[in-house]
Amino acid sequence: MKRVLSLLSALIIALPFLGTFRAEAVNFPLNTSIMSESAVLLNLDTNTVIHQKNSDRRQAPGPLVNIMTAVVCLENCKNLSQQVTIDEEVYDYLYNTQYPEDLRTGFIVDGDVLSINDLLYAMMLTSSYEAAETIAYTIGDKSASKFVEMMNEKAAELGLMDTNFTNATGVYDKEQYTTADDLAKLTVYALGVPGFEKIATTYTYTPSIPNAKNHPDQEEWYWTHSNVMMEPDGDYNFSGAKGIKTANLEVAGRNSVIMASRDGNKYLSVLLKSPLNDERGEITFYHITDAMTLFKWAFNHFSYQVILADTAEVGELPVELAEGNDYVLVRPKEEFTLLWYDGVDISTISRDKVVWYKNTLQAPVAKGQPLGTVTLEYSGEELGTVEIVAVNNVERSTSKYNIYAAKMFTKSRWFHKALLISFLLCAIYIILCIYSYIVFKSKSKPMKPIYAVPKVDDKARRRRGLPPEDEE
């Protein structure tokens, strides 16, 4: 339960920037087949996948897991100069693994003293199991298992949903798996970790500590990158190729993650499960030749092209109350440029998916006013979305507007409110009139006789010379 909670926490923390590792994909047809079972070719400049093959199929990564080992180490080691004394007991259990022939050594022996930085170079260049397990043991606070938990937590944080790690060395385990998609995401992230690219793309490295006792011939003790595409005069040399990692597994074939750049363009190839031998049973390196095929194809056939010019008319929208034409033409707000394959005609790109901010407009409309968006698609895959704007001004017709205003007034809520208020005022007026009439009628009725002559007291009668009232 604790592990689940920690993974959830890591995912929540990573949500704001997971989009960074998401690559747009446009799967262009490759003109030459490749032997690897899974593949991804990613343009690193635009973070665009231009070719993929079974990219979501789970495969055994082998020593490609060292990419994650390096990431976790670099992000959790405070001092890369920290010296570590090699203890063979940390990794001697690997000698009894099911496939010992998969182990790759950096010729590191018991008692050697190396820095963490040295161990990272040994691991990334040669897939040294001694270096990888020592790193895991050291950074995991003397627990390789704890380090593997850190690897899986990082995988969850990066959204690598089809990846699971069981060890830091890459030794085969059926529960250790990943995909070409996940490895591409991981590598893109790793290239942004300080120090990783320098380590992973170095061709040769000499340990910073001589260890003369165990390695008396210092000129012979250095590490060379296993990527033969970097070999200056080798048969597989490819100009512009760098690192990053190669791997071999007896049970799962050869794998590679390689970067190459030419003419300002940079690509990353991920190849998994290429055969160890050809049909005649001879040893072959399809994980290298496939990478060369992909890179040559990309460098020779891809360039940045204008997919949608900012002068292209992409539709029109009705405009009410307009002076003259009752519509406005629209065009892209800005030019849309994309890395594109010269084997596919740009005219095959669909621009039919237009979404208007409003279905109709009322004049006036200003030139450049945003009116909606157009989404470009190729073979059902979305290339991008561009905002569209008015091509020209559309003036308002005064006569049309006056007629419209008159019609709309009778339908407006203010008109209805005015009617209601008028009705209420009329009702109040009628009620007041009725009330006033009733009051008036009541005041105009004849008075009773007793009240017709006012009563005069006896004193007043005597002053007037009249006898008292009771004597009359």
**Residue 143 and residue 237 share a domain:** yes
Euclidean distance between CA atoms 248 and 116, whole angstroms: 24
293 with 409, same domain: the answer is: no
Domain end (from 394, 414, 433)? 394
- Per the domain annotation, does 94 fall within a domain? yes
Give the 3-state secondary structure of residue 247: strand
Q: Quick check: is 179 in a domain? A: yes
Q: Are residues 362 and 429 in the same domain?
A: no
The pLDDT of residue 424: 83
Whole-model pTM? Answer: 0.79
Same domain, 404 and 390: no
Per-residue pLDDT, 20: 39
451 within a domain of the structure (yes/no): no
Q: What is the CATH number of the domain that holds 108?
A: 3.40.710.10
What distance in Å separates the CA atoms of residue 300 and residue 50, rounded to the nearest whole number?
Answer: 13
Do the Cβ atoms of 341 and 301 come closer than 8 Å? yes
Residue 458 lies in a domain: no
Same domain, 134 and 281: yes
Instruction: At 36, give phi and psi (nearest 5°).
Output: -65, 140
Does residue 378 contact residue 338 with C-beta atoms inside 8 Å? no
Same domain, 137 and 251: yes
CATH number of the CATH domain containing 370: 2.60.410.10
Residue pair 147/134 in contact (Cβ under 8 Å)? The answer is: no
| Residue ranges making up the domain that contains 416 | 399-445
Q: Which two tokens stand for residue 301?
A: 């056939």
Flag whether 212 is in a domain: yes
Residue 141 falls within a domain, yes or no? yes
Q: Is 88 inside any structural domain?
A: yes
Q: Output the CA–CA distances (angstroms, integers) from residue 393 to 14, 29, 329, 390, in the order listed.
A: 46, 44, 10, 7
CA quadruple 186, 49, 202, 293: dihedral, nearest 10: 130
Regarding whether 208 and 319 lie in a shared domain, the answer is no
Q: State the total domains in the chain.
A: 3
φ/ψ of 378, rounded to 5, equals -135, 120
Residue 77: per-residue pLDDT: 97
Is the domain of 276 the same as that of 348?
Answer: no
Out of 265, 281, 300, a domain closes at: 300
258 and 385 part of one domain: no
Domain check: are 316 and 404 in the same one?
A: no
pLDDT below 70 — which residues of the chain?
Answer: 1-23, 405-406, 408-412, 414-415, 444-472
Instruction: Report the alpha-carbon distance of residue 212 to residue 85 in Å, rounded.
Output: 14
Listed residues 252, 275, 300: the one ending a domain: 300
Task: Report residue 209 as tokens.
Answer: 């500590």
Residue 456 lies in a domain: no
CA distance 99 to 115: 29
